[in-house]
Amino acid sequence: MSKTIKWLPNRKTRVILLHALVWLAYGVVLMNWLTFGYFYLAAIPLILRTLFIQAAIFYLNTELLLPRLMERNHFIAYIISVIALVVGASVLYEITNDLSVIRNAFMVLRPPHKPRFPHGHRPILGPWFVINMFSSLAILFVSTTYWAIVQARKRLQWEFSMKNENLQTELKFLKSQINPHFLFNALNNIYSLSYTRSEKTPEMIMKLSNMLRYMLYENNERKVSLQEEINYIRHYIDFQLLKIEGQPKLEIDMDEVDYSLQIEPMLFIPFIENAFKHSNVEDTRKGWIRMQLRTANKTVYFHISNSIPDRAYTKDEAGGIGLQNIRKRLELLYPNKHQLHIDTHDGVFTVDLQIDTQ
């Protein structure tokens, strides 16, 4: 099966092509201005000379003078260099007027009743010298403006790159705070199973292996499928249920879900972990947890609520880390694209999270 290879020029090539097209368009404008629609061939030498001199001014200014003088705050040296460049360009115009191709072009283009030099000699500081100086100054202005725009764009790209790098560093730091806590809980569960010689130990070791694989590999990806995230949630809940005797009041609904939807990893686990820690769900008479995860039109809706015991109840000292981190991660990953509401009322702790994944 043959493959179609598309030639896509790199950024440098695209810039060169764009500059070439701009100079070509400028040459066409000059051509029509000099000839008024006639004698195109005769005007070609004049157009080429003008383009050569003005392009030299443009690129000497943008590639040499501005980066090496203006950017390094050598203002006096830059002004002197610009004056020398403008005067030199005007002198170059005058010198090239003696070339035969240029003289012939002027002979064709000038009106027959108006000789070019009525007094028989060419004035060095005549009107054309001044016109050429002003045209050179205009090119200098255009080139300086172009250079300033390019520099501003580079600065914005650098700032964006630094901001993105800092964001990734901060997210990795937040994940590094979350992952060891999950691992700590899972190992405690495995230890309890092995201590009682439970037959579920191999199964739970395999689930722990899947959880670790998710945290160490899939979790490092920019986004994961909702299916992978839900699998991790189910494994986590399985570990928590191992420690509960009897039938806990636990309602889990994750059926109305688009499993292919891509989402940032580890966004729901801190809330689920918090519910298991503080609901005292082990008390099958009073403790309970309700959770729902669904999707609609590329939006993820997550709800979890749990009972609050009459007596303050927590399993360890790390309870607040997860919720603090998830608030920060949501602000970094989904700015203006998420809604998080956390409420405590009448002995019920409730979390509602809405994420626009588009």
Please provide the DSSP assignment of 6-33 as one string: P----HHHHHHHHHHHHHHHHHHHHHHH
Structure confidence at residue 112 (pLDDT):
47
Structure confidence at residue 165 (pLDDT):
65
**Are both 59 and 208 inside the same structural domain?**
no
In a domain, 148, yes or no: no
Asked if residue 189 lies in contact with residue 243, where contact means CB atoms within 8 angstroms, the answer is yes
Range of weakest confidence among 123-132, 271-280, 324-333:
123-132
Asked if residue 251 lies in contact with residue 290, where contact means CB atoms within 8 angstroms, the answer is yes
Q: How confident is the model at residue 156 (pLDDT cuts 50, 70, 90)?
A: confident
Q: Which residues pair with 304 in a beta bridge?
A: 291, 351
Strand ranges for 41-195 from DSSP E: none
**Are both 101 and 173 inside the same structural domain?**
no
Structure confidence at residue 251 (pLDDT):
92
10 Å CB burial of residue 306 (0-12, 13-18, 19+) is: buried
Structure confidence at residue 135 (pLDDT):
85
| Best CA proximity match to 264, nearest among 178, 137, 144, 202 | 178
* pLDDT reading at 65 higher than 70: yes
Q: What distance in Å separates the CA atoms of residue 136 and residue 110, rounded to the nearest whole number?
A: 23
* pLDDT reading at 263 higher than 80: yes
**Are both 81 and 164 inside the same structural domain?**
no
**Are both 335 and 210 inside the same structural domain?**
yes
Domain that holds residue 107: 20-111
Between 182 and 83, the higher pLDDT residue: 83
Q: Which residues pair with 300 in a beta bridge?
A: 295, 355
* pLDDT reading at 118 higher than 50: no
Asked if residue 250 lies in contact with residue 287, where contact means CB atoms within 8 angstroms, the answer is no
Structure confidence at residue 108 (pLDDT):
66
Q: Which of these three, 81, 111, 141, is where a domain ends?
A: 111
The enclosing H or E element of 342 equals strand 338-345
What average pLDDT does the segment 325-347 reach? 87
Structure confidence at residue 230 (pLDDT):
93
Structure confidence at residue 315 (pLDDT):
52
Asked if residue 54 lies in contact with residue 88, where contact means CB atoms within 8 angstroms, the answer is no
HSE-CB for 171 with a 13 A CA cutoff: 21
Structure confidence at residue 317 (pLDDT):
44
Q: Which of these three, 79, 94, 111, is where a domain ends?
A: 111
In a domain, 5, yes or no: no
Q: What distance in Å separates the CA atoms of residue 118 and residue 226, rounded to the nearest whole number?
A: 86
Q: What distance in Å separates the CA atoms of residue 91 and residue 170, rounded to the nearest whole number?
A: 59
10 Å CB burial of residue 129 (0-12, 13-18, 19+) is: middle
Q: How confident is the model at residue 258 (pLDDT cuts 50, 70, 90)?
A: very high
Q: What distance in Å separates the CA atoms of residue 355 and residue 330, rounded to the nearest whole number?
A: 9
**Are both 106 and 163 inside the same structural domain?**
no
| Measured CA distances, 195 to 135, 189, 200 (Å) | 90, 10, 12
Structure confidence at residue 171 (pLDDT):
61
Range of weakest confidence among 7-21, 41-55, 216-230:
216-230
Range of weakest confidence among 8-17, 100-109, 302-311, 316-325:
316-325
Q: Looking at the 3D structure of the chain, how many domains does it have?
A: 2
* pLDDT reading at 177 higher than 60: no
pTM of the model: 0.53
Structure confidence at residue 26 (pLDDT):
87
In a domain, 25, yes or no: yes
Structure confidence at residue 4 (pLDDT):
47
* pLDDT reading at 32 higher than 90: no
**Are both 253 and 320 inside the same structural domain?**
yes
Tokens matching residue 240: 């928590």
**Average pLDDT of every residue of the chain:** 80
In a domain, 117, yes or no: no
Q: How confident is the model at residue 179 (pLDDT cuts 50, 70, 90)?
A: low
CATH code assigned at 170: 3.30.565.10
Between 167 and 278, the higher pLDDT residue: 278
